[in-house]
Amino acid sequence: MSDPSRPRVVGVDAGGTSTRALAVDADGIVLGSGRAGGANPNAHPPERAAANIAAAIGDALRDADPASVRACVVGMAGVSKLTDPAMAKVFDDAWTGLGLGSGVRMVADAEAAFASATDAPDGTVLVAGTGAISARIRKRRLVSTTGGYGWLLGDEGSAFWIGREAVRATLTALGRGGPFDGLPLAVLREALHLSDLDALRAQTETDRLLTSRRLITTCNFESPIRLARFAPLVSTAAAEGDATARKITDHAAELLVASALEAREPDEDTPLVLVGSVLVGDSPVGAKVRETLRGLEIRSATDGVLGAAWLAAVDGFGENAPRPVLEIQ
């Protein structure tokens, strides 16, 4: 069992559905971990979000003296909310009862994601999940952004945008009388539970009009960002050779590449870190982005809580602090 007074730092990844915290010592050894509910203030009441972050930190320090904490960094989606003094006070009040030996530094989740992938102090992070944003990182801090305006004003290339394009393509197919296989069939199956291809092909113009109205009504009834649920269907259809799906994924990649380059200086040779479901794994959009930007040093983010913990280690132990090692002691 570790010494409860042993100097340590805490990193937190505060997401929309869960919050995770790691307590790390000067050697990069994880001394404790904690977990709590979601803490994005855009998705949860601020009091609950702040309480969940505090709970995760307390859980990570359950066997330690809180005064041993030399630094604490919280990477949080929706951190811009804290520009409101009243909102910031809610979060500050949540830390008061923890008795930490340091303050809590709140950073954008993009900063933690960048730090999870590279030791470089400068670079760019391209995020494409439900939404999309590019951020310029200097001295490990976010200094400017491109995009990230939300579903109404932007988020081009995001899962929301891809899903919306899939529904629009399906409406076009209904208006033209097909084809209904591939992407349109996948969308109609997901949205309206229609899977009989022969029945779709046999629909009259009046039938197709009614189907279109049902699809429009279904999508408009839900929260706009729910359109993101159709994005995986586009990836699957593109992998199967669907021309419409490939056109959508290619266009999404073009938009994301343009956003990333806009966030960078001309001829900049710093790392570009990719984050989010649209860009990682076997995503066709991510593959196209990598192909287009193959002259750059491209990395994928690993785990936001490790990035936040390392940022805290740099704050608390200096620039030579090692990265955390996931080995609970």
Q: Is 132 in the same domain as 266?
A: yes
Say if strands 272-275 and 298-300 run parallel, antiparallel, or are unpaired: parallel
| CATH number of the structural domain spanning residue 187 | 3.30.420.40
Residue 323 lies in a domain: no
Residue-range definition of the domain harbouring residue 92: 8-120+302-317
Per-residue confidence (pLDDT) for residue 1, from 0 to 100 = 53
Distance between CA atoms of residues 208 and 191, nearest Å: 15
* pLDDT mean across residues, the chain: 90
* Residue pLDDT, tens place only, 4-37: 888 999 999 988 788 999 999 999 999 999 999 8
* Residue pLDDT, tens place only, 195-249: 888 888 888 899 999 999 999 999 999 888 899 999 999 999 999 999 999 999 9
Q: Is 165 in the same domain as 241?
A: yes
Per-residue confidence (pLDDT) for residue 157, from 0 to 100 = 95
Q: Is 236 in the same domain as 260?
A: yes
Residue 227 lies in a domain: yes
- E-only strand ranges, the chain: 8-14, 18-25, 30-37, 69-76, 104-108, 123-128, 132-138, 141-147, 272-275, 298-300
Per-residue confidence (pLDDT) for residue 327, from 0 to 100 = 57
Q: How far is CA 328 from CA 59, 80, 256, 324, in A?
A: 13, 33, 38, 11
Q: Is 28 in the same domain as 102?
A: yes
Average pLDDT over residues 285-306: 92
User: In this structure, which amino acid lies at residue 228?
Assistant: A
Per-residue confidence (pLDDT) for residue 16, from 0 to 100 = 76
